[in-house]
Chains A and B, each alone.
Chain A
Amino acid sequence: MSASEGNKNTNTEPWGGFDDNIIQGSGSAVIDMENMDDTSGSSFEDMGEMHQRMKEEEEVAAEAAATEDEDGEFLGMKGLKGQLGRQVADEVWQAGKRQASKAFNLYANIDILRPYFDVEPVQVRNRLIESMIPVRMINFPQKVAGELYGPMMLVFTMVAILLHGMKTSGTVIREGTLMGTAIGTCFGYWLGVSSFIYFLAYLCNAQITMLQMLSLLGYGLFGHCVVLFVTYNVHFHSLFYLLWLVIGGLSTLRMVAVLISRTVGQTPRLILCGSLAALHMLFLLYLHFAYHKMVEGILDTLEGPNIPPIQRVARDLPNLASSVVNATVKSLAAAAHSQ
Chain B
Amino acid sequence: MAEVDESNKPLFAGLSDVSISEDIPVEGEISVPVNSQNPDDEFSTLDEPVKDTILRDLRAVGKKFVHVMYPKKSSALLRDWDLWGPLLLCVTLALMLQGGSADSKDDGNPQFAEVFVIIWFGSIVITLNSKLLGGTISFFQSLCVLGYCILPLTVAMLLCRLLLMMTPEKANNAFELIGFILRVVVVTASFSWSTYASTAFLADSQPANRKALVVYPIFLFYFVIGWMILTFATSS
Contact = CB atoms under 8 A, between A and B. Distances in A.
Interface string B214-230: 00110010011001000
A230 B231 CA distance: 18
A179 B220 contact: no
Contact of B209 (A116, A121, A168): A121
Interface stretch (B30-38, B83-91, B129-137, B142-150): B129-137
A110 B213 contact: no
A311 B133 contact: no
A262 B227 CA distance: 43
A179 B117 contact: yes
B114 A2 contact: no
A262 B224 CA distance: 39
B133 A117 contact: yes
Given A110-B132, A157-B220, A160-B223, A177 B114 contact: yes
Interface string A132-161: 000000000000000001001100110010
Given A121-B210, A121-B212, A160-B223, A167 B131 contact: no
A314 to B, nearest CB: 13
A124 B129 contact: no
A110 B224 contact: no
Contacts of A163: 224
A167 B132 contact: no
Interface residues of A, number: 35
Nearest to A152: B129
Contact of B125 (A118, A156, A157): A156
A2 B22 contact: yes
Grouping DSSP codes into helix (H, G, I), strand (E, B) and loop, the B interface class, with mixed when no group exceeds half, is helix
A117 B223 CA distance: 23
Nearest to A160: B224
A177 B132 contact: no
A110 B128 contact: yes
A4 B224 CA distance: 66
Nearest to B111: A177
A1 B129 CA distance: 43
Given A120-B210, A177-B114, A153 B26 contact: no
Contact of B132 (A1, A117, A160, A172): A117
Contact of B110 (A5, A114, A170, A178): A178
24 contacts: A5-B22, A82-B22, A84-B25, A84-B26, A85-B25, A113-B132, A116-B132, A117-B132, A119-B210, A119-B213, A121-B209, A149-B132, A152-B129, A153-B216, A153-B217, A153-B220, A156-B217, A157-B220, A160-B220, A160-B223, A160-B224, A163-B224, A164-B227, A178-B110
Shortest 9 CB-CB distances between A and B: which pairs?
A117-B132, A121-B212, A177-B114, A81-B25, A179-B114, A160-B224, A88-B26, A110-B131, A85-B26
Given A117-B133, A156-B220, A160-B224, 7 more contacts: A117-B129, A120-B210, A153-B220, A163-B224, A172-B106, A178-B114, A179-B110
Interface of B: 22, 25-26, 106, 108, 110-111, 113-114, 117-118, 125, 128-129, 131-134, 209-210, 212-213, 216-217, 220, 223-224, 227, 231
Interface of A: 1-2, 5, 81-82, 84-85, 88-89, 110, 113-114, 116-121, 124, 149, 152-153, 156-157, 160, 163-164, 167-168, 170, 172, 177-179, 311
